[in-house]
Chain A
Amino acid sequence: MTDEKLIPSDRELQEMQYQMMVTSAKPKPPLLRNVLGAFVIGGAICVFGQALLNFFKSSGLAKPEAGAATSAVLVFLAALLTGLGVYDSIAKYAGAGTIVPITGFANSIVAPAMEFRQEGMVFGVGQRIFTLAGPVLAFGFVTAWLIGLITYLFK
């Protein structure tokens, strides 16, 4: 009985053979170009963030407040560029370079909310605004709470 399990069925063999055909037919992603795009554009967003941070610090804000103000400005700009239809055009070249910075979080909030506006303000905008932000906040809050709990128990 165990022997039968070890030998793949005809169907499994067929699927494995086809999977190999698919793998060799698929084009490989242009890794160098993608990585370069992500590095340069992602890096540039962080440099812009650094400039904002320096500006807010020099205008007298404390460190955490300056950081929060930087995030708010970046989020505002990303929301604006998404609304204007520019953000996804940059993302085509930047890949993760426009996903990983906080601007990617803003884009993931605006894009579904804007696109589902026709389904109404509550089920369209209100609900869809959390399509991707919801999972981020859920996992973020739970992780932070766990870390707080561990700190409480073992401090």
Chain B
Amino acid sequence: MSSVKKLGQQTYAFTNPPVFAGAASVVGPKEGQGPLGNQFDLVLQDSLNGEQTWEKAERKMLKESCQGAVKKAGLTPSDIDIMMAGDLLNQIISANFTARDLGIPFIGLYGACSTMFEGLALGSMLIDGGFADYVLTAASSHYNTAERQYRFPTEMGVQRPLTAQWTVTGAGAAVIGVQGQGPSITHITIGKVIDLGVKDSNDMGSAMAPAAADTIIRHFQDTGRSPSDYDLIVTGDLAAIGRALTEQLVKQAGYDISKNYTDCGILIFDPTQDTHAGGSGCGCSAVVLTGYLLKEIIAGRFKRVLGVGTGALLSPSSTLQGESIPGIGHGVVIDAYNLGG
């Protein structure tokens, strides 16, 4: 017997779609100078955010975004049933410290850069299933903390290849609730880990594109919908090369998404900002969703959006040992239908 809420193989439709009650975003200075700069709630003056270390700066951003989202929802931390958050640092340490400070029951998540969408998908299930009234989901990344964990120290004189992406310094948080007015999550599509053998950790867009395409295709097949049912299809952090590859892969399956498809890693930076392929990191999709996409949906510019949070599930040792990069993509459908009017 299959679940009554399951559509096809990987998609779930909610009977009581959870509603976005509040969302907040904090970004670093470079992101603040980008095309979406004036959309974010807080733009840091410098990447240390008044702290001694970049790790502390990242943690502070995550905490500020969580507090902002709870406040915008008109709630206090004690009203939140469960917090789900994660980041890129070893043992998701930023999220752990943030949850300690906020005192909300916590489930730590690791989905690499897909963490925000992983949290939204799981949180929606908890709410629709009647297990929680309010769930806080959040994710963060920081250019300097990620560079030194995954690549070279920032002051090392290395040329970044054109395929490289720039880890977004930013944190995004959202409160989803059982009721209220706001954009709703109507469907989710849980992705499979897909790996087509890309090993170059400076080309993560190519590594993740097959996973993103797989989830998008699966979503259309499971729901019977087509690309034209969406005003926007947006992936998490594939950037320019990954976006082009995803478009081709989805087309091979018979779906043309060229007209309404973009990527958060392309939206967040301008080509003149020298980020090469575009943005990446947990913070990339988290801040573009909470700072920009939700606002556009509320403003009525997009009625229905399919967001696919993408993650490159590599570790520094797997890269050194010559392993390929497994990718994942989690789809979340955000619909404006109960906004009223």
Contacts and interface: CB of A to CB of B under 8 A. Distances in A.
Interface of A: 14-15, 18-19, 21-22, 25-30, 34, 82, 85, 87-88, 90-92, 94-95, 98-99, 104, 107-108, 110-112, 114-116, 118, 131
Given A26-B163, A26-B206, A107-B155, 17 more contacts: A15-B196, A18-B197, A21-B249, A22-B198, A25-B241, A27-B241, A87-B155, A88-B158, A92-B159, A107-B156, A108-B156, A111-B157, A112-B153, A114-B153, A115-B148, A115-B154, A115-B155
Contacts of B156: 88, 91, 107-108, 111-112
B197 A19 contact: yes
A129 B48 CA distance: 23
Interface of B: 52-53, 55, 148, 152-159, 161-163, 196-198, 203, 206, 210, 241, 244-245, 248-249
A115 B203 contact: no
28 contacts: A15-B197, A18-B196, A18-B198, A19-B196, A19-B198, A21-B248, A22-B198, A25-B206, A27-B162, A27-B163, A27-B241, A29-B161, A88-B154, A88-B158, A91-B158, A91-B159, A94-B157, A95-B159, A98-B157, A110-B155, A111-B152, A112-B156, A114-B153, A114-B155, A115-B148, A115-B153, A115-B155, A116-B148
B157 A87 contact: yes
Contacts of A110: 155
A141 to B, nearest CB: 23
B241 to A, nearest CB: 5
Contacts of A30: 162
A42 to B, nearest CB: 12
Contacts of B196: 14-15, 18-19
Nearest to A99: B157
Nearest to A89: B157
Lowest 4 A-B CB distances belong to which pairs? A91-B157, A115-B153, A111-B155, A15-B197
Contacts of A90: 157
Of A19, A21, A110, the most chain B CB neighbours within 10 A belong to A21
A98 B158 CA distance: 9
A62 to B, nearest CB: 32
Contacts of A104: 157
Contacts of B153: 111-112, 114-116, 131
Contacts of A18: 196-198, 210
Given A15-B196, A87-B155, A29 B245 contact: no
A107 B158 CA distance: 10
B157 A107 contact: yes
Contacts of B52: 118
A62 B268 CA distance: 58
Contacts of B157: 82, 87-88, 90-92, 94, 98-99, 104, 107, 111
A88 B53 contact: no
Contacts of A88: 154-158
Nearest to B159: A95
B21 to A, nearest CB: 37
Nearest to A118: B53
A131 B151 CA distance: 12
A88 B52 CA distance: 22
Nearest to A107: B157
A57 B161 CA distance: 41
Contacts of A91: 156-159
Contacts of A34: 159
Contacts of A82: 155, 157
A25 B159 contact: no
B64 to A, nearest CB: 21
A29 B155 contact: no
Nearest to A94: B157
A87 B153 CA distance: 12
A30 B161 CA distance: 10
A104 B245 CA distance: 36
A71 B154 CA distance: 24
Of B148, B154, B157, B196, the most chain A CB neighbours within 10 A belong to B157
Nearest to A83: B155
Contacts of B163: 26-27
A69 B99 CA distance: 54
A15 B207 CA distance: 11
A40 B159 CA distance: 16
Contacts of A14: 196
Nearest to B56: A118
Contacts of B162: 26-30
